[in-house]
Copies of this chain bind each other. A is one copy, B any other.
Amino acid sequence: MPDSIAQQRNEPDFARAGERIYALAAELYPICRSITGEGVRATLGLMRRHIDLDVHEVPTGTKVLDWTIPKEWNIRAAYIKDAAGNSVVDFANSNLHVMSYSVPVRRTMPLAELKKHLHSLPDQPDLIPYRTSYWVENWGFCLPHRQMAALPEGDYEVLIDSTLADGAMTYAEYLHRGTSEQEFLLTAHICHPSLANDNCSGLALLTILAEHLAPLSTRLSYRFLFSPGTIGPIAWLAANEANVHRIRHGLVVAGVGDGGGPTYKRSRRGDCPIDRAMAHVLRHGFENPKLIDFEPYGYDERQFCSPGFDLPVGLLQRSRFGTFPEYHTSADNIDFIVPRHLGDSLRVIWRAIEIAESDYVPINLSPKGEPQLGRRGLYASTGGDKEGPARAMAMLWVLNQADGTRSLLGIAERAGLPFHVVRAAAQALTQAGLLGPAPAA
């Protein structure tokens, strides 16, 4: 019989798990991903060494909600050479050099014309920006501004050896089945090329989390979704519209390897169980937590929280996206993420899962006056001791608040105590016959 998540010995060693997440993120980092193509498949191939993914291919042209699956993009090589044939920019050095979804090009052109297709960051002159053009056919190169500004006049040879053709969009799922059909959705986007925090960190963290859950028995089912940003969730929602009511909790996971936050962005509803659980977890056990309200910009929570679905899905990040200078540049590299932060991010999610697994509405079976804890061995025998009462405080809170109107999490919130302390008190009271589950409403 599998072990339950509620048994503490099944908790991951977060430090060690952080190292494993980092190692996987480092493997994923070099691959050139986009919203379609072989890069996504190669990424899923590495993740499959850990978990048994169910891979879906959605053909080009398929209608999904308001969108259409685009052509598949692949790239083999790209460069700019000067008139002397010296390499100026080479895709082999960084896959950020080529704007994602660039159409094939093989031409020689003067600098003035080339510049219309060059992207750089004047304020961060040593970094390569990240650019895409998924929905308008175009091509472009990205390079450090200092380098671009120094390009001499003259003719340049431009090559982009890419293909944009009918194919498919690829995404993958992994379902950990619990005793209930109710689901906890955990999802990360799989469309960014060599950006380590955004989102190799999220892909690797969820893979290692799924691997750790695999042998454990859970109440909820855990659905892991790895799909390209925006079009991926759109396609998944289109295919699974009949089943989204099963999603009782959800987290979009992105940018979980840097040293900021942790930051939780609430779901559109703002007061779902996942919102309350995440707020509780961040407040108890993390030094610099940030809680922000939903806004319709960000990651794939935009789709899950569109008004026609309005699912209980929030976003976990470390630094809030767009607020750190490395965001969407070549500085978001494998040195920007840190095993310790990845392990800590895993700990956030694990604590939320613990709450989702074990929260329930208790009821005091001896509600008139306080029951005599002392004769049940639950209370210090010597009265008057100033410290003794503190030890029984969690039990007193549970007894006092367990009137069938609130769950353990609600009691923990009211008492200002960590969930696990309240849960332990509830377990002791249950063993003493003083507490039971409230009848279903």
Contact = CB atoms under 8 A, between A and B. Distances in A.
A366 interface: yes
A143 interface: no
A321 to B, nearest CB: 10
A430 interface: no
Which of A100, A130, A367 has the most chain B CB atoms inside 10 A of its CB? A367
A135 B372 contact: yes
A364 B138 contact: no
Contacts of A305: 400
A307 B401 contact: yes
B322 A131 contact: no
A308 B131 contact: no
A396 B136 contact: no
B369 A67 contact: yes
Nearest to A230: B370
A328 to B, nearest CB: 6
A125 to B, nearest CB: 15
A237 B308 contact: no
Contact of A369 (B295, B308, B381, B396): B308
B129 A384 contact: yes
Interface stretch (A164-172, A254-262, A296-304): A296-304
Contacts of A295: 397, 415
A375 interface: yes
Interface in A17-52: none
A427 to B, nearest CB: 18
Interface string A184-227: 00000000000000000000000000000000000000000000
Nearest to A35: B383
Given A234-B369, A307-B367, A134 B400 contact: no
Interface string A401-441: 11100000000000100000000000000000000000000
Interface of A: 65-67, 99-100, 129-136, 138, 140, 230, 233-234, 237-238, 241, 268, 295-297, 302-303, 305-310, 322, 327-328, 364, 366-372, 374-375, 381-386, 389, 393, 396-397, 399-403, 415
